[in-house]
Amino acid sequence: MSLETSFERRSLPLEYPFGIARGTTTETDAVFVRIEDDDGATGVGAAAPSARYGETAATAEAVLPDLLSVVEGVGDPHQLERIERRMRETVRQNPSARAAVSVALHDLVAKRFDVPLYRYWGLDPADTLETSYTIGLDETETMRAKTETALERGFGTLKVKLGTDRDLEIVRTIRSVAPDARLFVDANEAWSPREAVRKIERLVEFDPAFVEQPVSADDPEGLQFVSERSALPIAADESCRTLADVPRVADRCDIVNLKLMKCGGLLEARRIISAARAQGLEVLCGCMTESNASIAAACHLAPLVDYADLDGSLLLADDPADGVPMPDGRINLAGLERPGTGAVLDAA
C-alpha cells in the first residue's frame, strides 16, 4: 500500500474577539493535513498551534514534511502505534503537528472499515456529553451579551474566562443571566496561590463545577497549595500536557484537561485518560480555537471522559470543515452519518 500526503495552512477568523488572561485574538491559524490511500479514501486532520506551548503555524509547517515522510515510509495507516512512536522520535516537540497527522490517520483507518471512529474503538455513542461554550474575557457587559447569545443558541454549560481585577463581578453578572447553567471557570494561570484561594472562597456562592488552572504551570507547589485549600474542584490544564504529567499533578488537582493539541495524538490521549483514571482523577476533554477537522476526532473521546469543552470550531466565524453534530451543544455521536471522525474539509 502507498499513501499520499499533503498539508495546507489557512487563517480562520473568529466570530468575536476571544480573550483570556494572556491576551486577545481575532483569528487563528490552522494547518490542515490530508492522507490518501490507494483506493481514494482520505483522512483529514488539523493542527491548531499554541504559542503557549512553543508552536506556531510556521513551526508546524516546518516539521510536517518530516512527520508525513514517516507516514509514507511505513505505508500502512493501520500501524498507528508504530507511526506515532516514529513521529515522536522524529519530532519531539510540536505536538499539534503530530496531533494533526494522528487525527488524519485515525480518520482514514475508520473510513477503511466504513465505521465512525467511536465504533472502531468500541465505544457507546449514547454515553456522551454536552460541550461547554466559552465566554472569553471582555468588558463585563460584552460578556453578558455573549452569555445571552450562548443561551439563545441552546447551550446549557458555559466556560467563563477569568484573570482580571473584576473576576467576581464577571461571574456574578453571568450567573444573573444564566441562573440554571452549569459553569466552569478558567483563570489561565493568572492568579497567585493566595489570591486563588481568596477568589475561590468567593466563587463558591456562584456554584461553578470547577476552577481551571488558577495558578502558573511553573508553580507546582502553588497549585498544590490551592488544591489543598480550595472549596471547589481544581482542574489542571497548562500544568498537564502529556502522559508523564498525570502522576506529577495527581495530588495537586481533581481533574486533568486533556487536549489533542497538547499531547500530540489520539493514542496518547487515550493513555492519558487511562492514567488519570488510575490516579483517581476526572478528565475534561478540551481544545484550542480549532476547526472541526480536529475537533471532530476529540468528540469521539466523549464516552471516555467526564466533561467536554469542545467548542473551538463554534468560536470560528466560518469553519471550512463539518464535524460531529452538536445540537444545543450536545455531542451527538449517534447522529453521525459518516465514517471516520466525521470531519469533511472543503476543497478550497
User: Three-state SS string across 187-202, please?
Assistant: CCCCCCHHHHHHHHHH
Catalytic residue among 84, 138, 189, 212: 212
The answer to whether residue 37 is catalytic is no
The answer to whether residue 228 is catalytic is no
Answer for the pair 237, 286: CB distance below 8 angstroms, yes or no. Answer: yes
Catalytic residue among 186, 290, 309, 311: 186
Catalytic residue among 138, 237, 245, 309: 237
The answer to whether residue 237 is catalytic is yes
Residue 324 one-letter amino acid: V
Helix (H), strand (E) at residue 271: helix 266-278
The answer to whether residue 146 is catalytic is no
Answer for the pair 20, 231: CB distance below 8 angstroms, yes or no. Answer: no
Give the integer Cα–Cα distance in Å for 348 and 346.
Answer: 6
Collapse the DSSP code of 128 into the 3-class scheme (helix H, G, I; strand E, B; otherwise coil) and give the result.
coil
Strands 321-322 and 344-345 come out as antiparallel
Q: What are phi and psi of 179, to 5 degrees?
A: -65, -25
Which of these, 300, 303, 306, lies nearest to 323 by C-alpha position?
Answer: 300
* CA 38 centroid distance within chain: 32
The answer to whether residue 259 is catalytic is yes
Catalytic residue among 111, 146, 161, 199: 161
Catalytic residue IDs: 161, 186, 212, 237, 259
